[in-house]
């Protein structure tokens, strides 16, 4: 797929000058002896819907392609994703999930029926990428499948048979069919989504109607993998809201509070996109102004309030926090690039999106006691993607590099950070000047992240570290020449992490973080 190569750098008349104006001072205090919840690695999950060129061309090129591949799956994409240690991938949707019939995507590919993807552009789906191809992809990148079943246009029987096909260890007819298709061993399904956006594209249901269906699907759609009976059990994720209204969460959690042995759920999903200007989306993903940059970040910070409102309802019914809050769709949603198919949701990915990703990940970390899974939308070529492809070419986006920088935070222990964020004003928008989180890794390192939201000014940062004998520190920073700096196929390294100097003396660190930047510091004991 072709992405426009017109960069925001051509829009310099609206950008701030490259050189900084002033350097603000910020003081942070971190006590490594204090700790909070585990920052689950699953909050760094991905989303691969059958949409546009996300699957086809992005992941699947077919075994006969001239693009290097393993059993039809792109080698370059697999290698890039392995660097992120992707914990889970949600598939096949999204809105596509509630029209997907799994039998169309198994067996010999030349015999699979062509169908219409009416969810996204009425394009022909060859069904070449189906269950076994997805599981192969998952195994190649070293991840865990998060399968969304068809609760909208499907049946309980269809969903139950699909999960049996994937997981049965005993020689049932479906297990034998899977073996005949080349996969004798059962797959492990880590997570099962009980529908998608059932309040809208998943069936326009009322909360009570959905709850009635959810209980039936939870009861009869059973994981049959013997390795997942006592441990590593498949977790079932119910549909939650896509707006701040809490009525849907209330209905699901009230039902869960009264549940019996016959059914259960382990999580409730929520969807919240950064859409500056609201719906329909109007903000461009390239050639935008500094004011647009600030408006976007202001919009994304609402995620914190959104989660708090849902958590308040969940806490009422589940004070022990047994049920996870799963943000399985989030990210920036902008106008499709000019010349692209509007239904394919093609957009560029800039340093603005990297900062937006860091702010969301930091919010999830602060809510780690309840938010134990999240999936950015989406993985490749769609919305806020990690990777863009064009035939044999591939480019890694600024958002990709944020996820790579945050790898040490996976399954680390949250450590509170005390700081005065200050304020940064751009046009009519006032934002916190900085954001920061810290965590302790399983091998004893202290990880510190600092996001500088200020588009123009660097920040001189001093950090007091207590609770550990800090011996050394190293840091890397991701920034760009302007707020709309991007990586392109012609210039793939415009926005990449670079090392930054850190001074350490008597347990205190000092460094300067660039404007519009994401910085991660590893502090060694």
Active site residues: 197, 329
Q: Which helix (H) or strand (E) holds 302?
A: helix 302-317
List the one residue out of 88, 115, 90 whose CA is nearest residue 102.
115
d(CA 521, CA 519): 7
Residue 496's closest CA among 481, 511, 512? 481
Strand order in the sheet with 472-478: 38-39, 412-415, 434-440, 446-452, 517-524, 472-478, 498-500
Structure-derived torsion over alpha carbons of residues 299, 301, 302, 307, reported in degrees to the nearest 10? 150
Residue 430 to residue 59: CA distance in whole angstroms: 40
CB atoms within 10 A of CB 250: 17
**What are the two backbone dihedrals, phi and then psi, of residue 248, each rounded to the nearest 5 degrees?**
-65, -45
Q: Do 115 and 102 form a contact (C-beta atoms < 8 A)?
A: no
Beta strands in 181-221 (DSSP E): 191-194
Calpha distance 520→502 (Å, rounded):
11
Q: What angle do CA 347, 397, 487 make, to 5 degrees?
A: 85
Does the CA dihedral 140-146-151-155 come out positive or negative? positive
CB 209 within 8 A of CB 195: no
Measured CA angle at 389 (ends 69, 96), to 5 deg: 90
- What value, to the nearest 5°, has the Cα angle with vertex 220 and ends 219 and 226? 100
Beta bridge partners of 295: none
């Amino acid at each position: 797929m072709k992405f426009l190569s017109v960069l925001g750098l051509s829009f310099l008349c609206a950008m701030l000058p490259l050189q900084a104006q002033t350097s603000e001072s910020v003081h942070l205090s971190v006590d490594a002896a204090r700790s909070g919840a585990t920052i689950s690695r699953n909050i760094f999950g991905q989303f691969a819907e059958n949409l546009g060129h996300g699957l086809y061309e992005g992941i699947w090129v077919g075994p006969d392609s001239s693009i290097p591949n393993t059993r039809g799956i792109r080698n370059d994409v697999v290698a890039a994703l392995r660097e992120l240690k992707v914990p889970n991938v949600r598939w096949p949707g999204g809105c596509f999930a509630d029209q997907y019939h799994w039998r169309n995507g198994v067996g010999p590919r030349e015999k699979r029926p062509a169908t219409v993807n009416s969810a996204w552009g009425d394009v022909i789906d060859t069904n070449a990428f189906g269950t076994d191809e997805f599981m192969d992809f998952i195994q190649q990148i070293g991840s865990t499948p998060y399968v969304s079943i068809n609760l909208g246009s499907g049946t309980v029987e269809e969903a139950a048979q699909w999960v049996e096909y994937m997981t049965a260890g005993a020689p049932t007819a479906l297990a034998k069919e899977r073996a005949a298709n080349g996969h004798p061993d059962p797959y492990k399904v880590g997570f099962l989504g009980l529908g998608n956006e059932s309040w809208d594209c998943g069936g326009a249901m009322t909360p009570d109607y959905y709850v009635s269906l959810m209980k039936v699907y939870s009861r009869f759609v059973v994981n049959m993998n013997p390795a997942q009976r006592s441990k590593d059990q498949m977790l079932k994720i119910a549909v939650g809201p896509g707006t701040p209204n809490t009525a849907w969460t209330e209905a699901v959690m009230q039902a869960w509070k009264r549940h019996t042995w016959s059914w259960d759920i382990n999580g409730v999903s929520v969807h919240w996109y950064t859409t500056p200007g609201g719906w329909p989306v109007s903000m461009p993903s390239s050639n935008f102004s500094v004011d647009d940059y600030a408006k976007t970040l202001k919009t994304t910070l609402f995620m914190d309030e959104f989660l708090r409102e849902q958590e308040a309802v969940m806490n009422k019914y589940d004070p022990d926090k047994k049920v996870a809050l799963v943000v399985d769709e989030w990210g920036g949603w902008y106008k499709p690039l000019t010349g692209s198919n509007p239904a394919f949701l093609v957009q560029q990915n800039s340093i603005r999106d990297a900062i937006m990703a860091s702010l969301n990940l930091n919010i999830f970390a602060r809510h780690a006691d309840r938010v134990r899974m999240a999936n950015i939308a989406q993985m490749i070529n769609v919305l806020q993607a990690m990777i863009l492809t064009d035939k044999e070419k591939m480019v890694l986006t600024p958002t990709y590099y944020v996820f790579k920088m945050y790898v040490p935070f996976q399954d680390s222990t949250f450590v509170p950070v005390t700081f005065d964020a200050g304020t940064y004003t751009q046009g009519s928008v006032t934002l916190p000047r900085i954001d920061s989180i810290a965590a302790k890794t399983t091998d004893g390192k202290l990880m510190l992240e600092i996001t500088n939201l200020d588009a123009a000014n660097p920040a001189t940062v001093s950090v007091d570290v207590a609770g550990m004998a800090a011996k050394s520190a190293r840091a890397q920073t991701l920034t760009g020449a302007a707020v709309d700096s991007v990586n392109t196929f012609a210039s793939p390294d415009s926005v990449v992490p670079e090392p930054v100097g850190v001074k350490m003396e008597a347990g205190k660190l000092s460094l300067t973080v660039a404007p519009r930047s994401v910085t991660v510091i590893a502090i060694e004991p």
